[in-house]
Amino acid sequence: MSAAVKPPTRGDVAPFAISLALHGALVLLPLLAHWYARAPLPRLDPLPNSIAMVGNSIEVEAPTPEVAAAPAAPQPEPVDIATLPTEPTAAPKTATEPELESAPKPVHRPTAKPRPLPRAASIAPPTSGSDTAAPGAPAAGTFGQEGLAPGVRRLGYAFTRAIPAATPADAAWRELPAGHVGTIRIELQVDETNHLGALKHWQAHPGEPAPPAVLERMVERTLLLLRAGQFALSGSNQPGSERLIIDVHLRDDAPDEEAGTDVVNKGFDGATPNHPGKAHFRYGTGRTFEAKVTIVHSGH
């Protein structure tokens, strides 16, 4: 005997529909997932003249036919410079146009004039070796010799300077006893060309004995050094004569550690009309020569 099927009532339709929908979803979801995984991704057309990059990594594809076939950019046509319009050139600036305000104006500064050097006597250079001269000694063409030609020197000063240069070669100064050697009086002439004339002797009083021969040689040796030079009288620029008195002494000082006959020191202090001059030299043995030169007359 079969059971009779009872048809569903209105109250059973809603649960049945919900159950049917759930079972259908369970079946369709796996199918949709499988289909989505196998479906190919849509390919995007690359932009014109661009290189497509597909995938997770960057890959550079070959140029597409469209890119390869793209026409090259048009090159500019050459321009004939002669056909270009010329620009107007500025008119040359005339002397009447005002200067630009921004241009710096030259500053005219007065040139400083050199200050004149004070007139002072120069120091005459030593002749050689250790010759020393007193400060303020006149030289040729310097203060104290106004009106003299270049190279002309005052006679009394030059004579004193030449003594220690010419005298030490005479061996008698090493052998003579120490003390006063003697006095010699001479007169020297100067002509219009500033050259020396003949040597003359003069006496302080009649009957005065002649000076020692060593003093005569001293004067002759000194004049040998002066003959080639040009001189003026110590007190005048005119030709004339000059009288000198030379007084000589010798003394013995302590010898050097390495005693010898060579001259180890010499110097002078030039004579002027108001100042007696001095000349000296010393050998290594300690023998010292001293001469005093006094100008007693200088003029016509």
292 DSSP β-pair partners: 247, 278
Query: Residue 187, exposed/middle/buried by CB under 10 A (0-12, 13-18, 19+)?
Result: middle
CA angle 38, 42, 43 (to 5 degrees): 125
Closest C-alpha to 244, from 266, 218, 225, 265: 218
Joined together, the tokens standing for residue 257 give: 């550690």
pLDDT in tens, 14-72: 777 787 788 777 777 777 777 766 666 555 555 555 444 455 555 555 555 555 455 55
Structural domain harbouring 288: 152-299
Give a yes or no: residue 46 inside a domain: no
Q: Classify 214 as helix, strand or coil.
A: helix
**Residue scoring higher pLDDT (299 or 57):** 299
Task: Measure the CA–CA gap between 148 and 150, rounded to whole angstroms.
Answer: 7
pTM over 0.75? The answer is no
The residue whose two tokens read 């099927």 is: 5
Tell me how many domains the chain contains: 1
Give a yes or no: residue 173 inside a domain: yes
Give a yes or no: residue 74 inside a domain: no
Output the CA–CA distances (angstroms, integers) from residue 87 to 81, 84, 90, 126, 184, in the order listed.
13, 9, 9, 79, 102
190 DSSP β-pair partners: 196, 240
Give a yes or no: residue 202 inside a domain: yes
Asked if 245 contacts 294 with a C-beta cutoff of 8 angstroms, the reply is: yes
CB atoms within 10 A of CB 25: 10
The band of 121, judged by pLDDT with boundaries at 50, 70 and 90, is: very low
Task: Measure the CA–CA gap between 266 and 277, rounded to whole angstroms.
Answer: 14
pLDDT in tens, 128-144: 444 454 444 454 444 34
Give a yes or no: residue 177 inside a domain: yes
Output the CA–CA distances (angstroms, integers) from residue 231 to 1, 58, 87, 160, 280, in the order listed.
185, 111, 82, 13, 23
Q: Classify 266 as helix, strand or coil.
A: strand
Give a yes or no: residue 226 inside a domain: yes
Task: Measure the CA–CA gap between 217 and 199, rounded to whole angstroms.
Answer: 13
pLDDT in tens, 152-210: 999 999 999 999 999 999 999 999 999 999 999 999 999 999 999 999 999 988 988 99
pLDDT in tens, 252-283: 999 988 878 899 999 999 999 999 999 999 99
Query: Residue 137, exposed/middle/buried by CB under 10 A (0-12, 13-18, 19+)?
Result: buried
The torsion angle over the Cα atoms of residues 184, 190, 195 and 198, rounded to 10 degrees, is -50
Task: Measure the CA–CA gap between 83 and 175, rounded to whole angstroms.
Answer: 112
pLDDT at 214 over 90: yes
